[in-house]
Amino acid sequence: MARHYNIRLRGGPRSSTTRWGKALMWVIIIFVVSTYLVISNAGSEHHRLPFLQWLIGDFFDDSSDTSQYAQTGNMTWEQTQKIRVNHMERACKGLNLNQTIDAVVRKHILVDTRHKVLMCFVPKVACTSWKRIWFWLAGLLEEDENVMGLTRSEVHGKFLPTLSSVKFVEQQRKEFLLTYKKFLFARHPLHRLISAYRDKLEHVDKESNFDFHKHVGQEVESMMRGKVSGGHNITFQEFIRWVTPPNGTWTTAQQNEHWRPIVELCAPCAIQYDAVGLYENLQHEANETLYWIGAGELAERFPPPDRAFHASKQHQKYKNSLTSQDKLQFLRTYLLDFLLFGYNMP
């Protein structure tokens, strides 16, 4: 299934020029990336393009790994959210990005009818912790019951209500989307992929009902090596090349929710989210979010991760394993996540 994005810069008032300078730069980057890939695939030398070397070098430096909205300074949480949401809405409109609320999106939106709130959960963005919290929010567990006592199979099972749940009729879904508070949490795209790789392919997830080495690792081997040997020794470079196919066509495994772009899982250009939290400032922003939705009694009780496969500066080895073309193809695939959630660029 190919990803087709309708991206076109619209004209606007002169006062928006500076604000949208970065958006224009990203459009230029798209062109440069595409040109680079064409040149590389044609077998031409690219070491004579110093701009590209500068671009990918700075882009993958750790100093660019956080959102420009991660540091809120003296602003209140509400003021910070207004800036983030406005940025996201302007990006959607400025790039003319049209989205629909399809089955994938509905499946990823948790529903809490008690507090009248919706959350789009994103795997590898504190997804398990938020789902545990949701057992309290939705009243499936009492507040004095231990959510950490739930197994991961229970947490990720079918107990939690989502927008796709059969218990809701279409009119209710429309009402939820129009009247409930809505939020999501984002994470730096590369860090999210490193976490997914470490969790699902570098290590063995014995608690998962899905055998990633068999269903993903072996596909990576087949596509990258032309042979299958069990799927247990996939390198990060092979994973990145596999998850960012140059032909723009994805298999079912390549579209797995653990590495599928956040923009596709949450449809922020179709759903008017009221808040966007950042994984890079998780504990503080999770607490602020809980107060905002009227569940302040759960603040400071945000569950720790089951397995802390955090991608940080100490994992520079994963970045160093990537070639210039690997980085550019990654940038092309996850471009909209960078744009909409304000993650820093060169």
Residue 34 has pLDDT above 80, yes or no: no
Q: Are 300 and 290 in contact (CB under 8 A)?
A: no
Q: Are 283 and 191 in contact (CB under 8 A)?
A: no
Q: How confident is the model at residue 56 (pLDDT cuts 50, 70, 90)?
A: very low
Collapsing DSSP states into helix, strand and coil, what is residue 2?
A: strand
pLDDT at position 59, please? 52
Residue 25 has pLDDT above 60, yes or no: no
- Report the alpha-carbon distance of residue 190 to residue 175 in Å, rounded: 35
Residue 10 has pLDDT above 90, yes or no: no
Q: How many domains does the chain have?
A: 1
- Report the alpha-carbon distance of residue 230 to residue 203 in Å, rounded: 14
CB half-sphere exposure, 81, CA atoms < 13 A? 19
Backbone phi, then psi, for 154, in 5-degree steps?
Answer: -70, -40
Higher pLDDT, 19 or 68: 68
The tens digit of pLDDT for each residue in 58-93 reads 555 555 567 777 766 788 999 999 999 999 999 999
What are the DSSP calls for 178-198, one per residue? HHSEEEEEE--HHHHHHHHHI
Residue 257 has pLDDT above 60, yes or no: yes
pLDDT at position 80, please? 94
- Report the alpha-carbon distance of residue 76 to residue 304 in Å, rounded: 25
CA distances from 157 to 132, 153, 205, 212, 267 (A): 11, 6, 16, 17, 23
Collapsing DSSP states into helix, strand and coil, what is residue 276?
A: strand
Mean pLDDT of the 138-162 span: 93
Largest CA distance in the chain: 64
Mean pLDDT of the 140-148 span: 93
Burial code (b: 16+ CB inside 10 Å, e: under 16) for 160-176 equals bbbbebeebeeeebeeb
- Report the alpha-carbon distance of residue 133 to residue 11 in Å, rounded: 43
The tens digit of pLDDT for each residue in 173-211 reads 999 999 999 999 999 999 999 999 999 999 876 666 678
The tens digit of pLDDT for each residue in 101-125 reads 999 999 999 999 999 999 999 999 9
Amino acid in the structure at residue 282: L
What is the pTM assigned to this prediction?
0.83
